[in-house]
Structure 1
Amino acid sequence: MYNFEFEKPSTIADAVAALQGDEAQALGGGQTLLPTMKQRLASPATLVSLSGISEIKGICTGDDGALCIGGATTHAEVAAGAGAYPALADTAAHIGDPAVRNRGTIGGSLANNDPSACYPAAALGSGATIVTNARSIAADDYFQGMFDTALDEGEIITEVRFPVPEKANYQKFVQPASRFALVGVFVAKYADGVRVAVTGASENGVFRWTEAEAALSANFDASAVPDAPAADGMIADLHGSSAYRAHLIKVLTARAVEAAA
């Protein structure tokens, strides 16, 4: 590790101001950023901790029935408090290990947009809205590639709004060393159709499997899941080939549909 400045503001306005400094970076739970800094893959001069901002913590239900989760809410708090959306609570309960769940935050996970993280699949699969200090961004517009999002420099995720579906489930094949998803699939059935989001598989990060969405919107049954998507563009590494990951997408989608139904 190297020397850096540390600030812990107590309001959103103070945090935004602190992030205007040269080479300043927001710090959520630090479960991704700090290991990255240790490897010198990132070297911000100032870390601006969001953990002291009470207004971006907690869980509530909005006037439209959506589940609203503050950006600084930890995975453990989502697991315990998102009972109105059981599939989301279960997703949070199986992220990493207890240490990660008690430190990592939903806002930090979505801001980092790791290609194997679970929350991006939950947000995209739910058609969530990512709310920042400046605007609201639909999940379909928010995720823009591996580690890439629509966030501007210094923009902070203050809340994530999840429309609660009729049925939903998340299935993942865990890479045992990292506890990230080798492949993860989030399926959510709404009155106007089914959404299927896949994490861990694509070189472009989380994505919607539109062919499965169309098939499952017509018939929400595991037997309706189409053939596995093409392996082109899927991640290939020592943990699994691109064809293996493509196959897992089909398998896990079917499991998610069965569990949801």
Structure 2
Amino acid sequence: MPLQLFSHAPPSYAQDEIGKRGDFNHRFGGDAIQSGYRFHDCKPLHLIYELDQSDPLCPSYLTGQARLPLFYPFRYEQGCSYEVRGKDIRIVGPSWLTDNFPPWDAPETFGELPTCLSSMPYNPSDPQDVMAFKGVFGWDSLDEAGIKDALAIARKTSSIHPSTHAPEDTWTYEQTIESCYGAPFVQGPPVARCQNPKCTKEWLTVIALQTQPVKTEMVWPDKFVMTYWQICPKCKCITAENTCT
């Protein structure tokens, strides 16, 4: 599955095609140090994507920056949040990191390849589209009839039920689906606040996700792993995480 890059106003997304050159300078992989990135108080992070924010299909999540770097901390035992200031990268959370990870033989860098973005169809009033990306965009764009259709989709595509997933006995099926149904995330929609100690703990927004981007070089040795990135709408720190698919 290629990278999917999300815009939230209005909801839409683009998808990349690794190995294809377009009109903008997007790339997968590459050496972060040779690309000019400087890591402060941490080991270098793996550069997964570096996206050209001048592309209309790439939301300008980092104001004043030409590039949007999507890193992942494979050298540490969990995801992390990082701050981007030009070419300077600082990890802002969590407060502790365990190195000597991963247990598999991860490459020092991923082979650099060009890539390009294409706009993908997404209709925020179509229950099928909405439920396919509910974990990213939510379902507030649906009217009452759309919610009814969305619940029918949930019944066919998931085993989520109030008896097993609702935190309270009084929850309805609709409340349970609203909270727990998070496609394309199998384990529920990511719900997290900013880890930057200098920020005000804002809720994070999903900006990108990918599973197994290239056949020749695996980002994860297990194909059933999704890497995803979120951003704080206030301080613009980026959080990189992974989840099972």
**What TM-score does the superposition give when structure 2 sets the normalisation length?**
0.24
Bigger helix fraction? 1
Pick the structure with more strand per residue: 2
TM-score by length of 1: 0.23
